[in-house]
């Protein structure tokens, strides 16, 4: 995932920069970066985000290309899509054992309740995981300095 923006300020260490980004027409309908840039693309407004400079010799006013690494993108996709599916299946698979322990008959309704309970537990897990995670691990980085043409 990549975005284009303009550097509006650099921090004192030069490791991070504030970049003004605006959704581009190429990604119409895709909301992948809406969470990162904390806005709705439908609004088509500029937003300020903090990014890593990756030791590029950038200065205020430079146009840059920003990217979220493939590893980070895959990690986010697994957390959001993979974990709920895994917990859903675990809930469904554990239902016979739980029904046996508490002494009730195994029915389709019990399996549905078990699977949905696993799904609910996954959402709670994801919520606390995201709360504890270092926010810098999901910050975009400058991948290229664009020439103003």
pLDDT tens per residue across span 55-93: 778 888 888 887 777 777 788 888 889 999 999 999 999
- pLDDT (0 to 100) of residue 85: 97
Ranges under pLDDT 50 in the chain: 40-41
- pLDDT (0 to 100) of residue 35: 55
- pLDDT (0 to 100) of residue 30: 59
pTM over 0.75? The answer is: no
State how far the Cα of 72 lies from the Cα of 66, in Å rounded to an integer: 13
Q: Which two tokens stand for residue 66?
A: 């920003």
- pLDDT (0 to 100) of residue 43: 53
């Amino acid at each position: 995932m990549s975005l284009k923006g303009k550097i509006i300020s650099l921090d004192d260490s030069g490791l991070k920069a504030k970049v003004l980004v605006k959704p581009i027409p190429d990604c119409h309908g895709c909301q992948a970066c809406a969470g990162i840039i904390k806005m709705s693309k439908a609004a088509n407004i500029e937003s300020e985000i903090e990014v890593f400079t990756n030791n590029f010799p950038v200065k205020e006013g430079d146009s840059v290309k920003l990217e979220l690494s493939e590893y980070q993108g895959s990690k986010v996709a697994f957390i959001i899509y993979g974990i709920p599916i895994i917990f859903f299946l675990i809930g469904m698979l554990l239902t016979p054992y739980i029904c046996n322990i508490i002494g009730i008959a195994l029915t389709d309704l019990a399996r549905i309740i078990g699977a949905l309970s696993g799904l609910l537990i996954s959402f709670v897990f994801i919520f606390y995981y995201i709360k504890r995670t270092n926010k810098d691990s999901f910050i975009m980085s400058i991948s290229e300095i664009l020439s103003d043409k």
